[in-house]
Structures are given as structure tokens and as C-alpha cells.
Structure 1
């Protein structure tokens, strides 16, 4: 599963620098697949969608920090546990049960994001 940030987020900024995939963004910030990854140009996502990695997308929240599901790997291949959840002072980084993924899928997503 990916991680999501609940509306209990206090926008403390603790999580954003911990994410190895640059999947966490500040409220009201545009995002791109290419941000903090090796992706560039037209790429095919692990779910099979063709996208422009450099295209900017609208913020997923204008009130609190948010995680881009397609970039979240639960820190697999980097750490033993999701770093955002381990540093969050209010425990608002939780498993996103709407986006279940196996460890193999998360590892493949990491390789896709970082060209490994």
C-alpha cells in the first residue's frame, strides 16, 4: 500500500525531507513525476498509463501536505519502514487502504522511479 496523509496534518514539514522518492508535497504545490526521480519525458507508469514525467499536476490538497500515490513505495529498498510515518508527530501518515500493493510492486515502482 502507499501511504497517505490525513487531514489531521499540522503542516510541520517533518516528513517532506525524509521521503526518498520526493512523493510528499506542501499544500497547494504542483507536482511532477520527474521531481526527485530519474524520470524524464514520456514514461509508462507501473499501472500502464503513458505520462509526461515533466508535466506539472495540480496539488492534491490545498490545506495540508499530500503524498503522490504513484511515487510512494513505503520506502521499500531504502528503509525498513515508511520514514514519513516514523517522523510524523501527530501520526497522520497512514497506510492508504485504497491503494494496496505487494512488496514486489513497491520494489518495481522504486526501480521505475530511480532507473534501477
Structure 2
């Protein structure tokens, strides 16, 4: 429950530190991990509460996962990667302000090593 209660702070602090060009479209994802424990019966945060939080933050995708059992991990990461690629078409979120310099060796298709 403590992790869930601090989500607002983590979300806001991340946006403050990362300072993305458009915070509303920055690709976030929320993972509810350790779903393998007791088959999810020991859940302390209801799915309804989690989905309400995600909706309040612009419909952040939510996945219940188990890293131990490798459950829903790939779909979660595929989802965030696809979202980031869609956004990248509109803006370059990772390399803003950095000019691309390609060496002469790279332009020829060779290696400088």
C-alpha cells in the first residue's frame, strides 16, 4: 500500500526531473508486480483503485505482472515501447536539442574501430 500511496509523488517528481517537452504525452506505465503470490489473493490495493489512479493521470496503461513467473512482463514492455514509438513520431523525447553528428567512417558504412 505504501508504494501505491507514493505514486503521485513519484509521478510528479519524475516529470519534474525529466522535464519532458509534453508531460501529458510522456509514456508511462504502471505495473502491479508479484501477482504470483497467493494467486493475487493477498492484494492490498484494489484493481478499481489502481484503474482510477491511471485514468486520473491520462489513462496510463496498467499491467499486473509477475517477474518471478514471467507473467505479463513482455506485453507490458511491448506496450510502453509501442507508445514511445508513436510519440517519437511527433517529438524526439530522448534527444531534444542534441544535433546528430555522423562521422565520415559511419557514412561509408565502415567501423572506426
Structure with the largest fraction of strand: 1
Structure with the largest fraction of helix: 2
- Who wins on radius of gyration, i.e. which is larger? 2
Q: Taking CA–CA contacts closer than 8 Å with sequence separation of 6 or more, which of the two structures ends up with the larger relative contact order?
A: 1
TM range (shorter): under 0.3
Q: TM-score scaled by structure 2?
A: 0.25
Q: TM-score scaled by structure 1?
A: 0.25
